[in-house]
Chains A and B, each alone.
Chain A
Amino acid sequence: MSDRMPRHLISIDDLDRTGIERILDRAESFAEVSGREIKKVPALRGRTVVNLFYEASTRTSSSFELAAKRLSADVVSIRSAGSSVDKGESLKDTIHTLSAYDPAAIVIRSPHAGAAQLVAGWTPAAVINAGDGKHEHPTQALLDVFTLRRELGGALDGIRIWIVGDVLHSRVARSNILAFTRMGAKVTVCGPPTLIPREIEALGCEATASLDGLEEAKVVYVLRMQNERMKESFVPSLREYAERYQVNAGRLRPGQLLMHPGPVNRGVELSADAIDSPQALIGQQVKAGVAVRMAVLYELLVGSPMLAAVA
């Protein structure tokens, strides 16, 4: 086990394999807490966690909030709408203001790449990236690895994972390519050539424009397809996209696992029969969110092995 956690979690690059495993192992113990009648441990009692969301979010913001509360932290959640952010306050000024409350951690979601990293330079708090532009979403990647590790009953070494859809605009894709390959899986990204970034192979994956060959995948990870991409001429129509890239029961072979970061566009990137099939792990992913984010908060803020018994 790596004996040191990074101070912040900005990118999957902040973690080596042992660091990831340490967080996942911790998440296993917190998953047990989530099964109790009183879902609370005192680990962060008296400490403050600020959730700062500059973008709409349901599952990420609610699971971070729950995670901090189940660790007994005081939680302040701020959304850009209606806050001083909405009145034109700069990110730097907002962070200085919030830092005056002496938070132990700031969780930030921003539409802009690098926002979390900037925040880390402006506050003494630990900073957790809850999604920055199209750059990274490390806690999503961690909960996906957690879900898969549970489902596979062990390591990801050697398994093939296909990530299908709009890779160009996806922070989930970037963090997941890094996390999956770091855990020993082989990743292929697949999507319309207009939505696969040039030189994405530099991240350590393969790229293809066709679903032919999908049967080799043990895991099919489908990305959300946003309607606005049609207007920007990345794909001519949802119909054509669905025809070529929709993952449905007919395209899934038995034994394959299906994942999606949510929210799903039913009938676009996934068919209803695929979503509702027992091969789909979408519900497990959501459930893992709380335990994994508890583990991230715990490891960054407490982390010392001596206190491990707390959970």
Chain B
Amino acid sequence: MDASPLFSQDLPPAELLIRGAHVLDPRSDVDEPQDVLIRDGRIAELGLAGSLAEPDDGETIDAGGKHLFPGFVDPHVHLRTPGQEYKEDLETGTAAAAAGGFCAVIAMPNTAPVVDEPSVLRSLVGLARTQARVPVGFLASITRGLRGEEMTEMAALRDAGALGFTDDGMPVTSAGMLRKALQYQRLCGGVVALHEEDPALSGEGVMHEGPVSARLGLAGIPSLSESTMVARDAALAGYESARVHFQHLSCVESVQALKAAKDAGIQVSGEASPHHLTLTEDVVRTLDSRFKMNPPLRGERDRKAIVEALRTGLIDCVATDHAPHARHEKEVPFEQAAMGTTGLETAFAALFTELVMPGELELSVVIERMTAGAELYDLPTPRVARGELANLCLIDLEARYEVGADGYASRSANCCFHGRVVHGRVLLTLAAGAIAFRRPMLVPRESTRRTAQPSVQGLAQGQARGPQA
């Protein structure tokens, strides 16, 4: 962790006893009510519920009936900085992450300017150190200006802190260009993450090509615009012994291509977004631009295939593709609207409500996949275990609420789950040992002991950035 490639503010380390929460961490094989004592930002002790004494220094949170999970890791967010701070910035974006239970996020480089120069990356790292509430990792672009023509200084970018590379938002259309980047990866390391889309097939498309696009008269993006590129790039990765990660997989054909690549021993991984896991093209019938994203929401058969692939681990992790846009970019006819949905604040609740509650996925699988993004980028995976840095989220699974009713921590409100009634509310997030988010309603229990200064500060900051702020 010493030369961590994640960057955030220095927040005071938490001193906290979380009492009696149902701890679920599939990797540590814990699934029972426990007391969790956090000292100096680390998990100092775990014990059966009610077994640990209240700390002399610090506060106690009575968390009976709530669930405590390892903090989530999102390998795919757009924090819009530099250049598009009217949509989001490092402060609001990481506040949204913390409000969603995330203890680390990885930001995409399709900003203005693009993160294609070490100087841009260095300035971002500096900003993160003063503004980011949860640790942020950065990807740099594969090609300059995302134009798909010339390779960036990948080695220098790695030295400046890039976790890996992506042209996300744009595909690397030229197989020759991508091949060179994959060869160069042998020198500089770092995962190459790919937005898979063949522009010759997606054309002017604005939604999935299928019965709904036929009905609405909207130009369609066929599934094979994604899956043919997954197959192509898996072949390139195999040939060059490279390591690639497929971003936001959306269709059954891509799942098949990913399986073929994994079966062939190629070093590939994949992610799926909460919206592709829970929604289909059917919702686009409303022509509500909140449902416009790239890749588009696809058919029910696709959704089922993505869920099943996530269940088996063929798709390795959940990634929100959090893509904030200003109102005026979405309050226009569907074809003109910007592509993307926010997702950080709703990821867990959407998956819990739409997949776990109806029995499509087990809760432990969702928790595992919402934390698995770390390992793909060679980051430590959050664990609820003694000695670990406190990366935790406390969630009330019983809480039922309407998404967006209290506003958002994100600067933008273009959430595809807006207005839905969901279950599962994040109450507390600890990231890298500090309290990153605390829901204002979660007041500390009256303690006979003195409450330590750092926690009070944490509380105040948590409140200041809560969704009601």
- 7 cross-chain pairs, A with B, having the tightest CB-CB distances, nearest first: A134-B217, A112-B333, A202-B211, A114-B287, A197-B214, A199-B211, A135-B217
Q: A90-B328, A113-B287, A114-B287 are in contact. Are A133 and B333 (CB under 8 A)?
A: yes
Let me know if A114 and B333 touch, CB within 8 A. Answer: yes
Chain B residue contacts of A132, Cβ below 8 A = 333
With A and B bound together, what is the CA distance between A67 and B214 in angstroms? 32
Size category, A interface: 20 to 34
With A and B bound together, what is the CA distance between A169 and B217 in angstroms? 7
Chain B residue contacts of A195, Cβ below 8 A = none
22 A-B pairs with CB atoms under 8 Å apart are A92-B331, A110-B333, A112-B333, A112-B334, A113-B335, A114-B216, A117-B287, A118-B287, A118-B333, A133-B335, A135-B216, A135-B217, A135-B218, A170-B217, A171-B217, A197-B220, A198-B209, A198-B213, A198-B214, A198-B220, A199-B211, A202-B214
**What mask results when residues 101 to 126 of chain A are scored 1 for a CB within 8 Å of chain B, else 0?**
00000000010111101100000000
Question: Among residues 158 to 201 in chain A, which have CB atoms less than 8 Å away from a CB atom of chain B?
Answer: 169-171, 174, 197-200
Checking A90, A114, A169, A202 against B334 with a beta-carbon cut-off of 8 angstroms, the contacting residue is A114
Checking A113, A202, A203 against B218 with a beta-carbon cut-off of 8 angstroms, the contacting residue is A113
Chain A residue contacts of B331, Cβ below 8 A = 90, 92, 118
A177, closest chain B residue (CB): B215
Interface residues of B (CB under 8 A from A): 209-211, 213-218, 220, 222, 287, 328, 331-336
With A and B bound together, what is the CA distance between A202 and B328 in angstroms? 33
Counting chain A CB atoms within 10 Å of each CB, the highest count among B218, B220, B333, B334 belongs to B333
Min CB gap A214→B, angstroms: 22
With A and B bound together, what is the CA distance between A101 and B210 in angstroms? 41
Interface residues of A (CB under 8 A from B): 90-92, 110, 112-115, 117-118, 132-136, 169-171, 174, 197-200, 202-203
Min CB gap B206→A, angstroms: 9
Checking B217, B220, B334 against A174 with a beta-carbon cut-off of 8 angstroms, the contacting residue is B217
With A and B bound together, what is the CA distance between A197 and B220 in angstroms? 9
With A and B bound together, what is the CA distance between A119 and B211 in angstroms? 25
Min CB gap B298→A, angstroms: 13
Let me know if B334 and A203 touch, CB within 8 A. Answer: no
Min CB gap B301→A, angstroms: 13
Let me know if A203 and B333 touch, CB within 8 A. Answer: no
With A and B bound together, what is the CA distance between A203 and B333 in angstroms? 22
Chain B residue contacts of A112, Cβ below 8 A = 332-336
Chain B residue contacts of A117, Cβ below 8 A = 287
Let me know if B210 and A115 touch, CB within 8 A. Answer: no
With A and B bound together, what is the CA distance between A147 and B335 in angstroms? 33
With A and B bound together, what is the CA distance between A220 and B58 in angstroms? 81
A10, closest chain B residue (CB): B287
Checking A110, A169, A171, A197 against B213 with a beta-carbon cut-off of 8 angstroms, the contacting residue is A197
Q: A90-B328, A198-B220 are in contact. Are A113 and B334 (CB under 8 A)?
A: yes
